[in-house]
Structure 1
Amino acid sequence: MFATRIHPTSIVEQGALIGNNVNIGPFCHIGSEVVIGDDVELLSHVVIMGPTTVGSGSKIYPNAVLGGDPQNTKHKGGRTTLLIGKNCVIREGVTMHRGTDGSRGMTTVGDNCMFLAYAHVAHDCVIGDNVTFSNNVMIGGHVSIGNNVIIGGGAGIHQFVRVGHHAFIGGLAALASDLVPYGMAIGNHAYLGGLNIIGMKRSGMARPEIHNLRHAVRMLFDRTKSIKSRADDVRAAYPQSAAVADLIDFITTDTKRAYCTPPLDSAIEISDSDENS
């Protein structure tokens, strides 16, 4: 068991639970309902407030503010929470808010996530594992982000939008519609510009599955039928593909948003290099 180190200029309020081998640097402020797991490092000037849990092995950089009240006028001050997973890296100036008492009441961040400087996670969001927010990424309330998603610098995501597993959102994109798993959204407002082939390769997806997804997405967005009615055709065409099943499950889940689609005057574009993947 290793001793926890708390700099004498930091304030840890009575009631906070601090794990083993935690290093709390200068000028931090830890609230009375905070839980910090083992091996967490707070460099300096970090504020963690409210009922917030930080998973073991996470590292938090200066001026991050975690667990603040939700920026939502419907919130009436009830007890809500922020849960941050293990081994997350939270860089300078990042903000994350707790849930609202009129909604799910919790904001959830998965394991092994990285949030670069000045990113923002709003109330009631659900973020999966291995997600990367580049600098200045902003997501509104009630957003759902799947596993292994990468969001480019300065991108913004509208409240209630869903982003599927392994998707990629380009820098400065403004995403106001649901983005299917493995999709790549670019532009302002963002449109579906293809598939996140690089991300799929990096995750170890087999070449046949990449080909299945490529053809499935072309079927799904060919505009001869509505997307949801096309979903049954796609599932029937690729009954053994786990990746296609993930895509269709996302499409057939109830949502408050439309889907991020290709521009009206074009189809899904996939480069020759992608075809040879």
Structure 2
Amino acid sequence: MVVQLHDNAVNLNRAVCGESAAVSDESVEHWKEEVLSPILEGFESGDVYNVDETGLFYQLMPTKTVSVKGEAYHKGRMSKQRITVLLCSNADGSDKLDPTVIGKFHKPHCFKNSATLPCTYYRSKSAWITVDLFIKFLQASDARMGARNRKVVLFMDKCPAHPTNLGFLQNVKVHFFLAHCTSRLQPMVLGIIHSLKSKYQKAFVLKALVFIDRNEVLKLSILQAMHLLTGAWKMSTKETISNCFHKVGFNVMSSHDKDGDESSSGHA
């Protein structure tokens, strides 16, 4: 993780070689059993959330393709147009908050004739998440939960862009993952983000094929990318999300599960 001193920006291109191997099984299991389990007591799966950010090269075509044996293939210049995407969902996948996109430009030209945006857009000089922008996300989430008269718990990693002074929150209780263990503990990292990016890239390729048929080249705008991203997020299934939460020890029951248990015990 690289912290950029200007604009409070944080580089979230966090692939660290050997991180999973460096984390002891004992530390992970201790966190799941001794730290996570007590936190989850009294919460249903619908009230347990995880938030994380990821970089997205939104104009990047797949690096692999189908070709005829012996036929030369030359790939073009790799696009470096990047945005940061913030994703948040609860443990049973019943509440996927709209994505938040961070780009470099204050008002991209493609927004000019658009009355509404498909998801929230913020600007930072480097297109990375910043402390101020993350606080805006937390404030909006807290107000959203308050309007619904809900009390929820939100898990996130100890990224420098994630503030620790959270006294302003009234309806969202934040807990941090064990440092340096997000590759083993965070649901978003363990499948949810990957699934979203796969769906996004599929939608992007299908759109590009239409242009290829016209002998044109698709140059995706940020607004178009936001539409594709929002569509891909909507297609992310409850099953995928809940499986990723269960994989890392978030074994909490939904209200539906509890109702089922109560009705079963009543017939016994």
Question: TM (normalized to structure 1)?
Answer: 0.17
Structure with greater proportional strand content = 1
Question: TM (normalized to structure 2)?
Answer: 0.17
Structure with greater proportional helix content = 2
Higher relative contact order (CA 8 A, sep 6+): 2
